[in-house]
Structures are given as C-alpha cells and as structure tokens.
Amino acid sequence: MITADFAILPVGTEDTECKEYVTAAVQAIKDSGLNYQLTGMGTQIEAENLKELYEAIANAQEAVFKTGIDRVYTVIKVDDRRDLENRTLDAKIDTVNKMLK
C-alpha cells in the first residue's frame, strides 16, 4: 500500500480564500474511488501503485485548473513501503495511538 499526503495551492487568486479550489481537488480524489482523508493542511490518500496515485493527484490538479486558475503549486509526500502489508493510513495512526500513554 502506498500512502501520500499532498496539497494543491492556487497561485494568483484574487483573495486568500481557498475553499473552492480545495473542494474541486478533493472531489476529484473522491471520484477516483481511492481511500482518502481530508485534513486541515492537505489530503492523504492510499493507492495500490504509483500510477494510480499519480493519476489521482494529476486529476485533482486538473480540477483546480478547471476552476479558472492559471497556476497551481502542488506538494506531494509519498510513503511507498514494501516490507509490510496493509500499511494503510488508519493502521499508521493506530500504531502510534497504541503507543501513547
């Protein structure tokens, strides 16, 4: 399982509000069928392979362009761990929560 955290930032907007762009990007991820978690600073997704991951992020980026913005800046962090099975986003969180006192 590959997990990623990404953020797509519109550049050159008229104001500081980003909810329209975030909604467009997250809707594209939702439409991909991949498991995802929206956070206050980005979106985390799970994919079986890099092609699936990058395609979903590319579609999210394109969705932001379709809102009429002419430039975006995308930041992607990928965890491609192959020594363990089922390292989902939830499993990673559960591991740390079990260790907390």
Domain of residue 45, residue span: 2-99
Q: What is the pLDDT of residue 61?
A: 98
Nearest to 21 by CA among 47, 42, 44, 46: 42
Instruction: Kindly report the CATH number assigned to the domain that includes residue 34.
Output: 3.30.70.930
pTM to 2 decimals? 0.89
Q: pLDDT tens digits, the chain, 101 residues: what are they?
A: 899 999 999 999 989 999 999 999 999 999 999 999 999 999 999 999 999 999 999 999 999 999 999 999 999 999 998 888 778 889 888 989 999 98
Q: What is the pLDDT of residue 66?
A: 97
- The total number of structural domains that make up the chain: 1
